[in-house]
Amino acid sequence: MSHESALAVSGISKTFAGQPALREVSMSVAKGSVHALVGQNGCGKSTLIKILAGVVDPDAGGGIAVTGVSLAPGSPTASDRLGLRFVHQDLGLVSSLDVVDNLALGVGYPRRRTGTINWRAARESARDSLTRLGYSIDVSRPVSELTISERTAVAVARALDPTRSAPTVLVLDEPTANLPRSESQKLFALIRAVRDEGVSVLLVTHHIDEVFDIADHVTVLRDGRWVSTDRIEDLTHDRLVARMIGRAVEGRGRLVEAGSKSDGAIVLDVQNLSTTVLRGISLAVRKGEVVGIAGLTGSGREQLGPALFGAIQRQGSVAVLGTKLAAHDPHAAVAAGMALVPAERHANALFLDATVATNVTAVGTERFTRFGLVAAGRESADVDDWIRRLGVNPPDGKRPIATLSGGNQQKVVLARWLRNGPTILILDDPTQGVDVGAKAEIHQLVASAAAQGAAVLVISTDHEELTSLCHRVEVLVRGHLSASLPGHELSDSVITAATLAAASSVSARVGEPA
């Protein structure tokens, strides 16, 4: 690996409305390397990426160079011409279009001399681009039918399109945010393939473990400032986290006792639940118990929370404290004491045009309503109390929710439900896309809710999260609950092995390739 600089950032600052987002940040990405950029939400990572992409102008002073050539600020065209390529978390794909069409977005189609599209050449080019990255995908398929890792591969192939100038640095912004670990490994193989072709990779991520899996170097930002750049072999997990949060890491052990909660009253009783994917799910969660749900993509994990909440069609029985809930009625679920924190908070949980206070009070306003009028003073005091309890930063109920970091937005969603004292709390990937500090705080809130008597169901792709939080973990495979793992056996590797082994077992039973 060459240690010449593919990307050099020197003394870059950025101020928004008098508030500094970056303060004289400097860093260097070596040629042919994978360089991780980490830090808590709000540390300045996103601002730095936008400056590199040319969509945000930095403050005066400082500079950026790509392979020694100065990058003109505020010019996406200049950024692209020097070989900076970007794949953002939302990927920027059009689900209804096929792979060929998505690869052509922004770069166009190959043409015949007559000017018409050469579809044969377009398909061959698409196949070649994906094969080079280690993926064999039917390029005529709509993107909506691809796995998340396959979609990411399409986005990377488009970013590295050979008809543009030669790529120098590929910037991946949270590429594994929605991936289970099994699919993350496929993406890591893709990243290595890109690196081996001589393209440097700048990887922005919240997942610390994957930094150690894939990165050669790691840079830490905190509060808009550069903290450190290290070779990965010179770091430990706890040392890296300490640099991110500015203090020594407290124990990462279990937050609940490993023993079962078989003496508690059954709060959530699920019998023979079925959806388009789930098949005959029966499950009980007791008072004070935290039960985890693990499963690969497509296992039905994604449907379980919405099905229990009545947000999608279901068959079977769902009861809370003995009261059977209507099959497709979220209002009945809320009235029974059920709370759901969905995986996609932007799409399904937040009112992005509203304030923090409005988002906190979106459920349970009747407590502050009399004769049809809201007691604004009491409601505001309650919001301020929950903002303080959950450590929402900045602690301002009048602030637009869209201006908060992902971790603080998730705390607001939790505050909405916790303030109503839920009987059963269902959390779907509760720390997806949040930084390590907010993740620890959210875990403490979940453990506290269980200690106060709530039944908790944690559906998660993060097996360390399940290990830390749960009394037991149930494994979903192809719509069925296939294994139950007691708390004293839980670990990341045990849960991963159980999901993969169970999947192989099911494949063998139905005569399919494992």
The DSSP code sequence of 3-52 is: -SEEEEEEEEEEEETTEEEEEEEEEEEETT-EEEEE--TTSSHHHHHHHH
Q: Could you tell me if 9 and 23 are in contact, meaning their C-beta atoms sit under 8 angstroms apart? A: no
Closest CA to 217 of 234, 205, 241: 234
SS3 414: helix
Cα separation, 35 vs 122, in Å, equals: 32
SS3 124: helix
CATH architecture label of 1-83+166-250: 3-Layer(aba) Sandwich (3.40)
Please return the burial class of 229, using the count of CB atoms within 10 Å of its CB with bins 0-12, 13-18 and 19+. Answer: middle
H or E stretch covering 157: helix 148-159
Runs of H (alpha helix) within 215-312: 237-245, 301-309
Cα separation, 331 vs 448, in Å, equals: 26
H or E stretch covering 390: helix 376-390
Instruction: List all residues 6 or more positions away from 339 whose beta carbon is below 8 Å from its beta carbon.
Output: 363, 417, 418, 420, 422, 424, 425, 426
- Residue 20 β-bridge partners: 15
Tell me the backbone φ, ψ of residue 153, rounded to 5 degrees: -60, -40
Q: Could you tell me if 204 and 219 are in contact, meaning their C-beta atoms sit under 8 angstroms apart? A: no
- CATH fold of 266-349+423-509: Rossmann fold (3.40.50)
Quote the pLDDT of residue 255: 65
Q: Could you tell me if 491 and 468 are in contact, meaning their C-beta atoms sit under 8 angstroms apart? A: no
Query: What tens-digit pLDDT sequence spans the chain (514 residues)?
Result: 445 799 999 999 999 878 888 999 999 999 999 999 988 767 888 889 999 999 899 999 889 999 999 999 888 989 988 989 888 877 888 888 989 888 888 778 888 888 898 889 888 888 888 887 778 888 898 888 887 778 888 888 888 886 777 888 999 888 776 665 666 777 788 888 889 888 899 998 877 778 898 999 999 998 889 999 999 999 988 888 788 877 665 545 566 665 556 667 999 999 999 998 899 999 999 999 999 999 877 788 889 999 999 999 999 999 999 999 998 899 999 999 999 988 877 777 788 888 998 888 887 666 666 666 666 677 788 888 888 888 888 888 888 988 887 778 888 888 888 888 889 999 998 887 676 777 788 888 888 889 888 999 999 988 888 998 999 999 998 888 988 998 888 887 788 777 765 444 444 433 343 3
- Residue type for 81, please? R
End-to-end CA distance of the chain: 37
DSSP class of 403: G
**CATH 3.40.50.300 in the chain, residue ranges:** 1-83+166-250, 266-349+423-509
Tokens of 179: 């991936």
